[in-house]
A = this chain, B = another copy of it.
């Protein structure tokens, strides 16, 4: 199968499996006390700065919920966009697991603005109102858009002004870094982001997600939190090996570069197809478009993809680290055939 459904339909990069084979010998300590995780901890400080601490978890939902739990007390709330993955694609896990309230703000492009965030901090200290304590942004966003470095710095500033924390859901952080053409730290550590949900699974790993703390005041209880939220991997060396492989030799960058480039190619090709309207700026590895019903009906069986909004026939086409030019051209051909 070739698909444009999701970057987690793709297989893992062969180097990733190789990294797991490489650590598959002898006994090593469980629950993160192993030698591979120690190397990862050092590597993460190189990449994100000396204060950075990494805690591998199982998946993106786990990363987000663990990260939020580390910042929130039980009566506090999270400001996010209406399109945020934590708001519409975690099955309600943040509310269910932490009991937090999500204050979701409407946006045209899945990006919060500093003014919007500033205005959302209301009723400070009022016991009748869930108190906002975290602002959560997604980079790159659920609509394939990207916050600029200065946009994130401004969001951090307004967030901290209100004595709150800035969380960055980085399920596709590599695609954003490639789009911005800067190192990870440039739009996270240096901007004042407090905690990152760092994702590799959508960019060539098998299961490589982690919470990275840039604000070292937030880690006191993180091991208890990770354990009780069922996100502690006993044989962590295999997760850490994947994350190390991702960061070493720029595997993350090579993978994301290809995915982003293929989305550009796809967007360029379909832009010319009559009846198809691209709805979001294509900045990373996804293309959002409103399409004729026939495209949905006829193309999905051959090249699976998701309908994003059933009410408008908006679809999402997602490219992966392994999407080839041939894949794209075959997909475009199928779309054209369906339109006609």
**Chain A residues in the interface with B (C-beta under 8 A):** 1-3, 5-6, 8-12, 14, 17, 20-21, 23-31, 58-62, 65, 69, 73-77, 88-93, 95-97, 99-102, 119, 122, 127-131, 201-202, 206-207, 221, 223-235, 238, 304, 310-311, 320
Contacts and interface: CB of A to CB of B under 8 A. Distances in A.
B59 A227 contact: no
A14 B24 CA distance: 8
25 contacts: A5-B29, A5-B30, A6-B30, A8-B234, A10-B27, A11-B24, A17-B24, A20-B206, A58-B58, A58-B230, A60-B234, A65-B230, A75-B224, A88-B129, A90-B228, A92-B228, A93-B227, A93-B228, A95-B99, A96-B229, A127-B226, A127-B232, A201-B234, A201-B235, A202-B234
Contact of A27 (B9, B92, B202, B310): B9
A238 B206 CA distance: 7
Enumerate the 3 nearest inter-chain pairs by beta-carbon distance, A residue then B residue, closest first. Answer: A92-B130, A75-B224, A96-B99
Contacts of A88: 128-129
Given A24-B11, A27-B11, A96 B228 contact: yes
A95 B89 contact: no
- Which of A62, A129, A234, A310 has the most B CB atoms < 10 Å from its CB? A234
A74 B96 contact: yes
A233 B59 contact: yes
Contacts of A61: 227, 230, 232
Contacts of A65: 230
Nearest to A58: B58
A128 B91 CA distance: 4
A130 B8 contact: no
- Which of A89, A207, A304 has the most B CB atoms < 10 Å from its CB? A207
A126 to B, nearest CB: 8
